[in-house]
Chains A and B, each alone.
Chain A
Amino acid sequence: MSAQDRLEIGAQSGVAASAADVVDIGETQRLAARRRERLMSIASPVGLLLAWEIAARLGVIDVRFFPAPTSIIAELIRLAQSGELIENVLISLQRITLGFLLGGIPAVVIGIVMGISRPVRALVDPLIVATFPIPKSAILPFILLIFGLGEMSKVVMVAIGVFFPVAINSTAGVLQISQIYLDVGKSFKASRWDTFRTIALPGALPFVMTGIKLGAGLALILIAVAEMVGAKSGIGYMIWSAWETFSVAKMYVGLFVIALIGFAVSFLLREVERWVIRWKPDV
């Protein structure tokens, strides 16, 4: 639906709402169905948690592996109050943020320059094609070797994860820009820098944002893995140390929190995307 349609619907809704009750039975049925669906999508997770809780209390499942949800919540509250959880979450978020900047900014610049310039593309593309298929988690030992156990190794892992999808999508984003916009830039004597700034970058942004969203997913995986293996703090470390000490409830808290971070990041990025490409219909 285009923004114009939305506008029109918005303008008409005052009138349409009263008319819909009487006239459009199909519409009310559709709305009721949607309400039912929303209820169902809440019911399934709530039902599962409830079943889990009951099964744990009745001893149907082994609470050593599947502690009751209420005991996980109790553990969450305990960890939050002690400050342990907050501290680990903050350090992980810091690594993700720094890694995002370290990997994302060069990726956008390199990706877009590759899109603009054929020679640069010919030079850099083989390198990306060759290194992209290497599983990023597999190079963790190498990164630890180079950067040690300090903060840098975790930041670099995230940066590498973010770099590839962002760079590849940025190039694709420039290549799909219609030639006429580049002609316009040329006819108005836009400099190289102006072409980058006013045409290539904004034109590629929808693709860049897709790359960033993909990169965010990878960043989360990589930070968890990196912290499990080579860190003494962070949410990944918390999950791993919980497993080592067999504090299963704590492990679940870690899983829940990392899922929450993932949800928050993707929500944030969606909002950023909506704002950054507000010029595009259908976002």
Chain B
Amino acid sequence: METGRVTAAVTRAPQRKRPVKIRINHLIKRFRSLVAIDDVSLEIEEGTFFAIVGPSGCGKTTMLRILGGLETVTSGEVEIAEPAPGRPQYSMIFQGDSIFPWMTVWQNAAYGLRMRKAPKEETEAAVAHWLERTGLTPYSRLYPHQLSGGMRQRVSIARAFANDPEVLLMDEPFSALDEQNRTILQQELLRIWEVDKKTVMFITHSVDEAVTLADKIMVMTASPGRTKTIIDVGLERPRNVLELRNDPRYGRIVYGIWGHLKDEVERARL
């Protein structure tokens, strides 16, 4: 299998051994007779921004939802490292509108902290901090319908980061946005993330987005979803979304991934 070869290439890359935060071991997920995920294994080390790309229907979102406890496994194991006491294991950022329309921006951002009964002062400090970092402070008392789609997704990001989890699970968070908003939010996510580098698993169907944001990219095959290859992006940080596009290495990596993906996309269309 091709996977083995590529994984070997990855391990050749110079790396310090860091603790594994997410481990998926021979994961299989079936919906009735349909095999969505077929024997996927991976390890994500602490501080890695790990992206998964694949054609639609390859089970990438299902895999994230399994990690987030929203789906069960058919067989195999998934494991997220135990968090430090008092901290949550993970927070999710969802595709599309997921912030509560009946809560203000502030209340939305505070949701995770309030659900885990964090002390009031901690909640207030964390929310204030993350609203500031996502540029939402002036809007903290508004309701979501008063915000644009891009602003609403910022709230979703603030909600996940304010919860201060061990790992972040992001499910195509920008796919519902227009291209300009998407670019802006990618840059903001980079800026926020590069400060404390939490472990991230990021699902996307956009190769550009994956290369822009991630340290490592797993390409999945079309249904049933398998690991096609795992690629080390190797672009230094901090990154600038615009400058990256002008970087020849960026184009080479994107081109390389498309090479892996092309057949799969065609297969998915059948």
Question: Which residue numbers of A lie inside 8 Å of B, CB to CB?
Answer: 2-4, 180-181, 183-191, 194, 198-199, 202-203, 205, 277-281
Contacts and interface: CB of A to CB of B under 8 A. Distances in A.
Contacts of A202: 100, 102-103
A180 B94 contact: yes
A187 B111 contact: no
Nearest to A7: B146
Interface in B83-127: 88, 90-92, 94, 96-98, 100-104, 111-112, 115-116
Q: A-side binding surface: helix, strand, loop or mixed?
A: helix
A184 B144 CA distance: 16
Contact of B98 (A181, A190, A191, A205): A181
Given A189-B116, A190-B115, A202-B100, A2 B145 contact: yes
A205 B100 CA distance: 13
A76 to B, nearest CB: 44
Which of A188, A205, A281 is most buried by chain B, counting CB atoms within 10 A of its CB?
A188
29 contacts: A2-B145, A3-B145, A180-B97, A180-B98, A183-B98, A184-B92, A184-B94, A184-B98, A185-B115, A186-B69, A186-B70, A187-B90, A188-B112, A188-B115, A189-B88, A190-B115, A191-B115, A194-B115, A198-B100, A198-B103, A198-B111, A198-B115, A199-B100, A202-B100, A203-B100, A205-B102, A278-B143, A279-B104, A279-B143
Contacts of B97: 180
A279 B69 CA distance: 29
Contacts of B145: 2-4, 279-281
Contacts of A205: 102
A235 B205 CA distance: 67
B102 A279 contact: yes
B70 A203 contact: no
A180 B65 CA distance: 12
Which of B101, B102, B144 is most buried by chain A, counting CB atoms within 10 A of its CB?
B102
Nearest to B97: A180
Contact of A279 (B68, B92, B103): B103
Interface residues of B, number: 25
Contacts of A2: 145
A180 B69 CA distance: 14
Contact of B91 (A4, A186, A188, A279): A188
B146 A3 contact: yes
Contacts of B146: 3-4
B163 interface: yes
Nearest to A4: B146
B102 to A, nearest CB: 4
Contacts of B115: 185, 188-191, 194, 198
A277 B143 CA distance: 11
Given A2-B145, A3-B145, A187 B91 contact: yes
B188 to A, nearest CB: 21
Nearest to A190: B115
